[in-house]
Amino acid sequence: MTELRLTGDIGTQRFPIVEFDISRLVSWLDENLPGFGRIQVGRINAGHSNLTYRVSREGHDRAWILRRPPQGELLPTSHDVLREYRVLRILGEGAHRVRVPRVVAACEDPGVIGVPFYLMEEVPGIVVRDRMPSWLGSPGQADWLAGEVIDALAEVHTAPCEALIAARLGRPHGYLGRQLDRWRAQWHGRSRLTGDPAAAPRDLADFHVVADWLARNIPEEQPPAVVHGDYKLDNLVVSRDADGAPRVAAVLDWEMATTGDPRADLGYLLALWPQPGEPTPVPNLVPECDVLPDRAVLAERWQEATGRRADALPWFITLALWKLATVLEMSYTRWISGTADDGFFAEMETTVPRLLARARATCGA
């Protein structure tokens, strides 16, 4: 017997997004998971990108996470979960420590649930989003967490990147220019997400002003490293060790991972790092917190851990805000066209212009 149930608070979901034959999925899971007990699949209402489900089986104390793309029209290169699976497998099998979940299996056959998907082991812990848990609320615990966040990032940036390049998951040069080209193309391709090619998405002047500034001021690239592409607090699983100290148990959401200048990850983290008295750039994605250490402390620790210079940070923070605004604008476009069910995206009507204004203020364009 198999059950499919929705888990968590679905919030402002507007239509059932689970539109696949559960019996076909269960047959596939039976062949690819250990044991013979009843399988249960539940939608996890967390995260705002690919859709995730928790898979469990009677008789097993370990669960798995299934990741698949969202429904509806998608732009080229976005939500490529099979690429993410390949990245995780390479990093997980490497001799250098990178805190990634262990991947179990991938399915390329659209006949199972209509889209590709993959399975990874669930990692126990919490994900920090709109608020800091009470056990992380003291300055001492917050400092320890910040150190763990940087140490986990440094492990990514000091991992050998040759395997990703050999697998054509990254290139040795030109990352920053490609980032500008990619996110400009994604912005201009949003009309494909509306379901009506004649419908023009909104245009925001700050997007173009910031894009032009970034293009005019590209810094000299550092030697390539593994780059996560979306490194921030809510993509980390945080747990407690035997002494109660926080530790980063796993880094999640590798769909934008590649090879390139690692300062892009540092800038992304710092752009969304909570600071006392500073407004939260994205509600429900970044916690309001006044006990975390200053961004300069994180940058210095990253330099020490990687042996690299944390320079040109205003450029990389600007890139991060502009890139995130683009990603969220695509989700907002899917929301207003009716192909996304996450109520968080409705807030992007005002959040995206605010992010772009912040990016423009950061660079002074």
- Where along the chain do its domains lie? 22-121, 126-363
Answer whether residue 6 shows pLDDT above 70.
no
Give the predicted TM-score (pTM) of the model.
0.89
Q: Which ranges of the chain would DSSP assign to H, the alpha helix?
A: 22-32, 81-93, 110-113, 139-157, 162-166, 175-188, 205-216, 263-271, 295-306, 313-336, 348-363
* Distances from the Cα of 172 to the Cα of 66, 97, 159, 256, angstroms: 31, 21, 14, 16
- How many angstroms separate the CA atoms of 225 and 300, rounded? 18
In contact, 226 and 257? CB cutoff 8 Å: yes
Name residue 350's amino acid: T
Q: In the chain, count of helices (H) and strands (E)?
A: 11, 10
CB atoms within 10 A of CB 357: 15
Per-residue confidence (pLDDT) for residue 12, from 0 to 100: 33
Give the largest Cα separation in the chain, rounded: 61
CB burial of residue 179 (10 Å; 0-12, 13-18, 19+): buried
Name the residue with tokens 């400009």: 184
Answer whether residue 134 shows pLDDT above 60.
yes
Share of the chain above pLDDT 70, in %: 87
In contact, 251 and 156? CB cutoff 8 Å: yes
Name the residue with tokens 């066209």: 337
Answer whether residue 344 shows pLDDT above 80.
no
Per-residue confidence (pLDDT) for residue 10, from 0 to 100: 31
Question: 3-class DSSP state for residue 65?
Answer: strand
- Residue range 208-213: mean pLDDT, rounded: 98
CB burial of residue 108 (10 Å; 0-12, 13-18, 19+): exposed
Query: Which string of DSSP letters, residue by residue, matches 68-103?
Result: EPPSS---TTTT-HHHHHHHHHHHHHSSS----PPE
Residues 6+ apart with CB under 8 A from 276: 290
Residues 6+ apart with CB under 8 A from 361: none
Per-residue pLDDT of 232-279, as tens digits, reads 999 999 999 888 889 999 999 999 999 999 999 999 999 999 888 888
Per-residue pLDDT of 165-203, as tens digits, reads 999 999 999 999 999 999 999 898 887 766 665 567 888
CATH of range 22-121; options 3.40.50.80, 3.30.200.20, 3.40.120.10, 3.30.2290.10: 3.30.200.20
As a whole number, the mean pLDDT across the chain is 86
Residue 224 φ/ψ, nearest 5 degrees? -70, 150
- How many angstroms separate the CA atoms of 188 and 320, rounded? 18
Protein fold of 126-363: Aminoglycoside 3'-phosphotransferase; Chain: A, domain 2 (3.90.1200)
CB atoms within 10 A of CB 264: 25
* Distances from the Cα of 284 to the Cα of 46, 52, 355, angstroms: 11, 18, 14
**Percent of the chain as helix, strand, coil, to the nearest 5:** 40, 15, 45
Answer whether residue 25 shows pLDDT above 60.
yes
pLDDT band at 15 (very low <50, low <70, confident <90, very high): very low
Of 303, 305, 325, which is closest to residue 313 (Cα–Cα)? Answer: 303
Per-residue pLDDT of 217-226, as tens digits, reads 999 999 999 9
